[in-house]
Amino acid sequence: MINRRTMLKALGSGITLTLIPTAKILASNNPDVKNLAMVIDVRRCTGCLSCSVACAIENGTPRGMTRNQVRQFSTPQKDSYGTMAIPTQCGNCKNPTCIEPCPVDATDKNKSGVVYINYDTCIACQICVEHCPYGARAGDANAQLPPEKCDFCIARSSHGLLPACVESCAGHSRIFGDLNKPDSQIVQTIKNNRVYTMLESKGTGPKIYYIGLPETTDDNKVLTLNYLNWQR
Amino acid sequence: MNRRKFFTNIGVAAGTVAVATTAKATNYVKSKEDPPISSVAKNSLVPEFIVDEKTGDMSQTPGQRMAFQRCFGCFDNCGLRIRVDDKTDKILRVNGNPYCENNSGDPLPLDMPVKEAFKSLTGDPGHKNRATTCGRGTAATDSVDDERRITQVLKRAGKRGEGKWQTISYEQALKEIVEGGDLFGEGKVAGLREIRRLDKEAAPGQPEFGSAANHLFATYLSDNAPRTDFFARFMINSWGTQNIGRKSAYCGAQQRLGLALAAVDPLQGAWHAHPDWKEAKYAIFLGTSPGNSGNSLNSLGRQLADARVDNGFKYVSVDPLLRTTPSANTGGEWVPIKPGRDTPFLFALMRLMFDNNWINTSHLATPNASAAKAKGELHHTNASHLVITDPDHPQNGKFLRGSNVGLTADHPVVIDPKTGQITDAETVQDGELFVDRVVTDSNGKSIQVKSALAILRAEAQRNSLATYAEATGISEKKLKQIARDFSHHGRKSSVVLSTASSSADGFITGWLTGLLNTLVGSHHARGGAAYWLGFQNGSRGDRYVLNAIDGGFKKSDIGISASREGKYENSTEYKTKLANNQPPYPAKHPWMQIAPAHHAGEMLVSHANNDPYSFRAFFCWRNNVTYGNSGLSPAVINSMKDPKQLGLSVGIDCHLNETTNLCDYIIPDLSAHEEYAADRMWGSEMRGFSAGAPVVTPRTVKDKYGRHVCMERFLIDIALMMELPGFGKNAIKAKDGRQVDLLTLEDWSAYYLANAAMMCNNLPQASKEDMIWSGAERAMVPLKDKLTPEERTAVAAVLSRGGYYEAQPRYDGDFLNGHPGRCLRIYNEAVTSFVHAYSGKAYPGIPAYQPNHFWNGDRWEQHWSKNEFPLLFSSYKSTLRSPYSVAFKRTAEFSPTNYVYMNTNTAKELGLASGNKVRITSPSGQSADGELQTDEGVVEGAIAVSTGFGHTRGFGGDDRTIDGKFIKGIKERATGTSVNPMLPTDPTRSGESLLLDYWTGCTARHGVSVKVTKLS
Ligand code: SF4
Ligand code: SF4
Ligand code: SF4
């Protein structure tokens, strides 16, 4: 009854995700500085979009220039189809590809491991947007506004508050914290689960760690899915 | 450095991004000092609190305040904590209340100080204590200051519905509405004073319809009790109209009424179940998608997430459309079902459970309360009670009682399995479950009897499994697997539904879910079907008498509604027919007897048919019946537009909508964050209510005394002008003997909150610090002088926590705590006293399988040819859309449009493809256009379209002219397809009609036939 061939091939393309060994994530700990990161358990995500809406409001992002997206799609299961809801956003990577091309040095990484944009020096040229393999920087097509990207809600997280998307996460899918703090919930969660990142082979080392992602997830496909098409 | 034109996102559809494929990562080396946060978080909000990382102390950001409220992003009434900017008095962001179960699932105790509660939302502990609002509740941040909100008093400056308005003073509107006159240059309009004729019959010669005061038709919102009860008190108790319509009857009330019949008699309420997530092992979600729609998206979403990950929870989502609930990599499965076929699905499960004896016989055989107690059961059932099934017997369809068989007590009787004898059901531990035999009564006459369970089994087995499989589109194998899983998880299993299965047999669907949960013994069981514990309704409190008016009316005084929500057998029509020796059945129109559901849509149908009468005035407060009720025909809409048929119409709301757009006047109303609130929380297992007070100054225009215009202001002023009872000086009786005034919104709200607060058993002490951190200090200012010291303390305590949430143990033994034991009804004897007004036949005591049919009993297929209308229609509520969330900016951003979802194979067969512009046409000839999207997540042979879109005539999607100035509709708000107006009517009814649930008269919309044609 169900024709599997016409299925959206975001899963099962033959490519498999590479498990990120916990040791690799938690290596090179320097307890004196922070190394902020986020875990997203996709099995817990209910697709409520509270995170996207809260982020847009907290960070005043212009319409359509959202810093996070919940990409949803259907995928074959044993007898029928199931859903995947995969929140995506900037990984505030270990080795970002978006910093170096900035002609005015407006984007960089801070001491807590957050890749930021300095709005006072950004000239809205949008070059960085083209250099993110994740499409995580939302560009302004008219090159008038600075790009928008997740900076782990820098104003909140540097004052001890949780980022907007994390405190709004109805499914408790998101966990935020400091990888350099061994007793933090994020470190404990990473230790106790199989975690993946998107586009591991790019070597950027994004710090959005996924739990519950089927190994057959085609991360390239997921990242280019239209997140507005799932209106259910 | 040159700016260069940037094209990455140009030519890429909204919602997708370009991904760089060439970027190379190299090891990063930090080179610069960090810039100040203000340079980075340029457009971000300043955080509400600052936690000192060293001391751990937390301080509030100067210039911002927090306030508790209750959410109105949908009807679930979750709690809110709101950040407000002091200087601009604007809402910055909305989030959940950590004391409220609906926001957190695991709320903080009420006695925790507010500052500590807020502190516990930060840092690592903040994960566990998260108190969230879902996407739509969060998006409501924009609602108060929405650019298209109505804040002025408007009067139409063109024809009704033309979208031309002028602003007028509140006082002018009040005078014109009460006194009438030639208001629009179209001739004389009768004002309210002229319309309210208590000395005249509404429908001359038919006294059952009450007085001409019923010529005022009012629609209202059914949630937020303080305001709803105020409105109803005005309309019913003071003015005296029974025509006060609301949404429930076109929003799935039939299922909740049906479900209730498994536990109570008709007229004793409606029930709504959800799984007891904490211990549930299995659940069937029928036409509902927890976490996406229905009960609180926060607490249920979170508990679903917990269950998916931690508890080895298995669940099936039986739904025409694959929604987000059955997540891959969890125990969830989507089982596609044809729309409108939920009843045969449930009958299939029931049949399989009877065939295989997969039922909880010990529970079912428990015939009385003391036996239940002895067995450690909460409930007993009437499964073994004997029913007279003898068509010639005068008590056919009623229980066989002691008096029939010469026993002293007149209780129902059972067969005692130990002796095989007929025995008083109250005296044995067990009753024989399956009985079909002849007994001898005390006069020696034979009576055919059956046990209740035997009747139910016979009905379930009347049709073959193949028949049910064919009807549902679900294979026999899958049906067996579901029935087995459902029953083999015992009491930790439940089947739950929501309004999405509103078919013409939705009543039966709901009833069956109740019975299936009885068959496995899961009502109120640990892990089984859970129910809300209710709330402290301030109208029923005893400090102030709010639900009755001296010298006013009671509901029973004022006749029945124009929609005939009463017993046909008491009507003039019935009596006249009998007197003229005519057969009384069928009645001319449907009668909604087993539950007065306040059906606003059917009231309009009566109006359009001028039978029993047309309304002379219409008040629409926060309701949008013409958008929400499916199948209101153009003729019905015209009957509202035509000033000759409806003289006066007044909308009261903070937004224009499709219905108020047809009004003569708009009175601006408070938006949700500006009002007083205290209401039950949908899906909460704690007894209590979320509550709040205005968190910002209302934006509505003021009257000449400087008071903000709102619904309450308007109705009080009408009452004062017309000297209606129950308003004004000394209008309300206080418990201590005082008579207190009802002159303002604050008067009423103070009394209501005092009543509610004084009903709470374990209020916290609100310290000075609590009062400040929670915003209650500010909220109490307009209220405190109206209350006694004791009441003041109680109301302050409630407002300091944003409501009242009673902590008590979740379980009592094997059952959920706080629920009384009942006689669960396999057979509902009471419902058999009602007679269907068309067929003249009594309602059956058990649900009967009868595929979807019209009011005259014809099957839908007899009128709707499958050749012409090959597809079955279903609608659902999408995650971000709810009545008011339509007007929030971020809703339009993240939920820009809906689609006509269709299975890829079905589309192929019809020559259609994803992206086509299509037209959906129903057998009534109405149509709606939309964009087709295909994938495998839709059952074949059907379409699924979300409600909440296509608002071209309201919420700012509409073009309007105010004081001669043209304001173009915001196109992002008008996107998508609005399906309800397209849905079909009932061709077997006379005049204008709605398609109804056969038994309850609630609107049916699910599973109807449509065709889809390509436009481009
Ligand atoms: S951490 Fe903040 S900026 Fe990043 S996605 Fe979440 S809400 Fe948006
Ligand atoms: S808030 Fe959480 S549950 Fe909701 S969509 Fe975002 S990640 Fe998923
Ligand atoms: S579920 Fe409804 S009431 Fe609860 S937060 Fe969401 S919109 Fe508000």
**Nearest residue CA, atom 7 of ligand 2?**
A45
Residue type, A178: D
B684 lines ligand 3 (CB under 6 A): no
Give, for ligand 3, the residue of B101, B130, B136 to mutate: max count of ligand atoms closer than 8 Å to Cβ.
Answer: B136
In the prediction, which pLDDT does B18 show? Answer: 61
A34 lines ligand 1 (CB under 6 A): no
Residue B963 CA to residue B853 CA, distance in Å, equals 50
Does the structure show a pLDDT above 60 at B327?
A: yes
Residue B444 CA to residue B392 CA, distance in Å, equals 16
Residue type, B203: A
Residue B431 CA to residue B448 CA, distance in Å, equals 18
Residue B218 CA to residue B241 CA, distance in Å, equals 8
Lookup: tokens for B230: 């105020």
Beta strands in B405-560 (DSSP E): 413-415, 422-424, 436-440, 446-451, 493-497, 529-530
**Nearest residue CA, atom 4 of ligand 2?**
A48
SS3 B900: strand
Check if the beta carbon of residue B178 is closer than 8 Å to that of residue B718.
Answer: yes
Residue A121 CA to residue A124 CA, distance in Å, equals 9
**CA-nearest residue of chain B to A153?**
B41
Q: How far is A142 from chain B (nearest CA, A)?
A: 6
A211 lines ligand 1 (CB under 6 A): no
Does the structure show a pLDDT above 60 at A4?
A: no
Atom of ligand 1 nearest to the CA of A153: 2
Q: How far is A16 from chain B (nearest CA, A)?
A: 15
| ipTM over the 0.90 cut-off | yes
In the prediction, which pLDDT does A216 show? Answer: 86
Residue A99 CA to residue A102 CA, distance in Å, equals 6
Does the structure show a pLDDT above 50 at B698?
A: yes
Residue A64 and residue B16: Cβ atoms within 8 Å? no
Q: Express each pLDDT in B866-885 by its tens digit.
A: 999 999 999 999 999 988 88
Q: With cut-offs at 50, 70 and 90, classify the pLDDT of residue B403.
A: very high
The full DSSP string for B417-458 is: TTT--EEETTS-S---S--EEEEE-TTS-EEEEEEHHHHHHH
Average pLDDT in the B970-977 region?
Answer: 96
Residue B711 CA to residue B693 CA, distance in Å, equals 16
Lookup: tokens for B605: 């149908």
Residue type, A36: L
**CA-nearest residue of chain A to B19?**
A135
Mutation test of the interface with chain A: which of B7, B936, B946, B970, choosing the one with the most A Cβ atoms within 10 A? B936
Task: With beta carbons under 8 A apart, name residues in chain A contacting B123.
Answer: 160-162
Q: Count other Cβ atoms within 10 Å, centred on residue A105.
A: 13
Cα B78 to ligand 3 centroid, rounded to whole Å:
5
In the prediction, which pLDDT does B21 show? Answer: 62
In the prediction, which pLDDT does A14 show? Answer: 59
**Nearest residue CA, atom 6 of ligand 1?**
A165
**Nearest residue CA, atom 4 of ligand 3?**
B78
In the prediction, which pLDDT does B678 show? Answer: 97
Residues of chain B above pLDDT 70, percent: 98
Check if the beta carbon of residue B917 is closer than 8 Å to that of residue B927.
Answer: no
User: CATH 3.40.50.740 residue ranges in chain B?
Assistant: 154-251+543-673
Residues of chain B above pLDDT 90, percent: 90
Lookup: tokens for B275: 């799984």
The residue written with tokens 């407006």 in the block is: A106
Which ligand approaches the C-alpha of residue A50 most closely?
A: 2
| Alpha-carbon distances of B673 from A116, B49, B142, rounded to whole Å | 34, 21, 10
Which ligand approaches the C-alpha of residue A55 most closely?
A: 1
**Nearest residue CA, atom 2 of ligand 1?**
A153
Does the structure show a pLDDT above 80 at A179?
A: yes
A67 lines ligand 1 (CB under 6 A): yes
In the prediction, which pLDDT does A12 show? Answer: 56
**Nearest residue CA, atom 2 of ligand 2?**
A169
Average pLDDT in the B555-565 region?
Answer: 96
Does the structure show a pLDDT above 50 at B4?
A: no
Check if the beta carbon of residue B778 is closer than 8 Å to that of residue B68.
Answer: no
In the prediction, which pLDDT does A151 show? Answer: 98
Task: With beta carbons under 8 A apart, name residues in chain B contacting A220.
Answer: 19
Average pLDDT in the B146-150 region?
Answer: 97
Mutation test of the interface with chain B: which of A53, A116, A140, choosing the one with the most B Cβ atoms within 10 A? A53
User: CATH 3.40.228.10 residue ranges in chain B?
Assistant: 253-360+459-530
Lookup: tokens for B412: 């129902």
| Alpha-carbon distances of B873 from B470, B962, B984, rounded to whole Å | 17, 39, 11
Residue B292 and residue A47: Cβ atoms within 8 Å? yes
Q: With cut-offs at 50, 70 and 90, classify the pLDDT of residue B106.
A: confident
Residue B939 CA to residue A75 CA, distance in Å, equals 15
In the prediction, which pLDDT does A28 show? Answer: 64
Residue type, B499: T
CATH class of A22-91+151-224: alpha beta
Lowest-confidence segment of A23-37, A80-94, B290-304 by average pLDDT = A23-37
Average pLDDT in the B364-371 region?
Answer: 98
Which of B367, B176, B342, B406 shows the shortest CA–CA distance to B872? B342
Residues of chain A above pLDDT 90, percent: 83
Does the structure show a pLDDT above 80 at A126?
A: yes
Residue A80 and residue B333: Cβ atoms within 8 Å? yes
In the prediction, which pLDDT does A149 show? Answer: 98
Task: With beta carbons under 8 A apart, name residues in chain B contacting A170.
Answer: 132, 134, 291, 297-298, 301-302, 305
In the prediction, which pLDDT does A29 show? Answer: 65
Residue B553 CA to residue B549 CA, distance in Å, equals 7
Residue A80 and residue B95: Cβ atoms within 8 Å? no
Residue A141 and residue B7: Cβ atoms within 8 Å? yes
Does the structure show a pLDDT above 70 at A6?
A: no
DSSP for residue B142: G
Lowest-confidence segment of B94-98, B286-290, B766-770, B776-780 by average pLDDT = B286-290
In the prediction, which pLDDT does B886 show? Answer: 87
Q: Express each pLDDT in B892-908 by its tens digit.
A: 999 999 999 999 999 99
In the prediction, which pLDDT does B7 show? Answer: 40
Does the structure show a pLDDT above 80 at B673?
A: yes
Q: With cut-offs at 50, 70 and 90, classify the pLDDT of residue A26.
A: confident
- Our measurement of the distance from residue B197's CA atom to the centroid of its chain's CA atoms, rounded to an integer in Å, reads 34
Task: With beta carbons under 8 A apart, name residues in chain A contacting B130.
Answer: 166-169, 172
Instruction: Give alpha helix (H) positions in B114-216.
Output: 114-119, 125-128, 135-139, 170-179, 192-195
Q: How many residue pairs from chains A and B have C-beta atoms closer than 8 A?
A: 373
Minimum-distance CB partner of B298 among A81, A170, A175? A170
Q: How far is B625 from chain A (nearest CA, A)?
A: 23
Overall fold of domain B154-251+543-673: Rossmann fold (3.40.50)
Q: With cut-offs at 50, 70 and 90, classify the pLDDT of residue B328.
A: confident
Q: Count other Cβ atoms within 10 Å, centred on residue B939.
A: 29
Minimum-distance CB partner of A48 among B124, B134, B334? B134
Task: With beta carbons under 8 A apart, name residues in chain B contacting A134.
Answer: 19
Does the structure show a pLDDT above 60 at A7?
A: no
- Higher-pLDDT residue of B511, B1016: B511
Overall fold of domain B253-360+459-530: Dimethylsulfoxide Reductase; domain 2 (3.40.228)
Check if the beta carbon of residue B301 is closer than 8 Å to that of residue B513.
Answer: no
In the prediction, which pLDDT does B418 show? Answer: 96
Which ligand approaches the C-alpha of residue B877 most closely?
A: 3
Instruction: Return the H-helix or E-strand segment holding A224.
Output: helix A219-224
CATH class of B853-1014: mainly beta
Sign of the Cα torsion B872, B878, B881, B882 reads positive
- What residues pair up with B286 in beta bridges, in sequence order? B318, B497
Q: Within 6 Å (CB) of ligand 2, which residues are found?
A: A 45-51, 70, 85, 87, 168-171, 173-174
Lookup: tokens for B807: 């902590």
